């Protein structure tokens, strides 16, 4: 009887611990929103990897006059991570963030890394809190009427567009994207093992 009581106590402790952990960490939604969150996280990892890999002195590099610099592209991505959800039931753009001047607000690598992280966290929070039932609601964005679903898909497309731009910028500035460098190092290691 004592062993059964001990077993019951252990089960209750495990259940309450699991419940407490689940309450601290919001669950990832299933379906489209979950897939969009996973997609955004993949872009975030690559953008942050590039931010960390590009030397500080290259953050002001731009391919030509009138074109965004490396730092401006990262800040553009961050600004859009606030802008798109604000059209689709998400939180408002943070106070003091003027879309017209935000991209020129800093060239400091450490600050930009933190800004990018915070913007992706906000994007994920907004998408996580958006109920599935609201995906069909509509909003006017850039003169077009579209569903909240379409707004978030547009946001993801925007992230990928500027990830591609950031990869091209990094390579032009002499930086191999870290995930590519890692793959190349593994391939080289495997060739060496095979004696090629």
pLDDT tens per residue, range 109-141: 999 999 999 999 999 999 999 999 999 999 999
Does residue 187 lie in a domain region? no
CATH number of the domain where residue 74 is located: 1.20.120.450
Decide if pLDDT at 82 tops 50: yes
Is residue 20 very low, low, confident or very high in pLDDT (cuts 50, 70, 90)? very low
81 pLDDT above the threshold of 70: yes
Closest CA to 114 of 51, 41, 39, 178: 51
Is residue 87, in this structure, part of any structural domain at all? yes
Question: Is residue 196 in a domain?
Answer: no
Assess if residue 23 is contained within a domain.
no
Q: What is the number of domains present in the chain?
A: 1
Q: Tell me if 14 is assigned to some domain.
A: no
**Confidence band (pLDDT; 50, 70, 90) for 79?**
very high
Average pLDDT score over the chain: 87
- Give residue 61's pLDDT: 96
User: Domain residues for 38?
Assistant: 28-174
Instruction: Tell me the two tokens of residue 132.
Output: 């599935």
144 has which bridge partners?
Answer: 141
- Residue 158 domain-assigned? yes
pLDDT digits (tens, 9 = 90+) for 153-170: 999 999 999 999 999 999
How many other C-beta atoms are found inside a 10 Å radius of the C-beta of residue 140?
9
Question: What pLDDT shows up at residue 15?
Answer: 47
Q: CA 86, CA 80: separation in Å to the nearest integer?
A: 10
User: What are the helix and strand counts (H, E) for the chain?
Assistant: 6, 2
Q: What is the pLDDT of residues 96-111, one digit of tens each?
A: 888 788 999 999 999 9
| pLDDT for residue 10 | 42
Cβ neighbors of 23 (< 8 A, separation 6 or more) are none
Six token digits for residue 126: 């907004």
In a domain, 37, yes or no: yes
| pTM of this structure | 0.81
Q: Is the pLDDT of residue 23 over 80?
A: no
pLDDT of residue 5: 45
Residue 13 has pLDDT above 90, yes or no: no
Flag whether 195 is in a domain.
no
**Both tokens of residue 149?**
């679903």
**Distance of alpha carbon 131 from alpha carbon 129, whole angstroms:** 6
Q: Dihedral (C-alpha) 96, 91, 48, 69: value to the nearest 10 degrees?
A: -40
Query: What radius of gyration do the chain's Cα atoms show?
Result: 22
């Amino acid at each position: 009887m004592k062993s059964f009581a001990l077993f019951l106590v252990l089960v209750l402790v495990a259940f309450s611990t699991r419940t407490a952990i689940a309450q601290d960490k919001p669950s990832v939604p299933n379906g489209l929103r979950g897939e969009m969150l996973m997609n955004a996280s993949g872009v975030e990892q690559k953008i942050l990897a590039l931010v960390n890999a590009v030397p500080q002195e290259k953050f002001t590099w731009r391919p030509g006059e009138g074109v965004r610099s490396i730092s401006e592209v990262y800040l553009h991505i961050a600004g859009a991570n606030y802008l798109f959800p604000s059209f689709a039931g998400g939180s408002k753009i943070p106070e003091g963030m003027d879309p017209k001047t935000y991209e020129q607000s800093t060239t400091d690598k450490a600050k930009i890394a933190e800004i990018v992280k915070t913007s992706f966290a906000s994007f994920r929070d907004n998408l996580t809190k958006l109920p599935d039932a609201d995906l069909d609601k509509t909003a006017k964005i850039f003169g077009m009427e579209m569903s909240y679903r379409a707004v978030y898909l547009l946001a993801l497309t925007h992230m990928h567009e500027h990830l591609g731009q950031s990869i091209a910028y990094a390579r032009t500035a002499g930086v191999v994207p870290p995930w590519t460098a890692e793959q190349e190092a593994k391939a080289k290691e495997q060739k060496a093992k095979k004696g090629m």
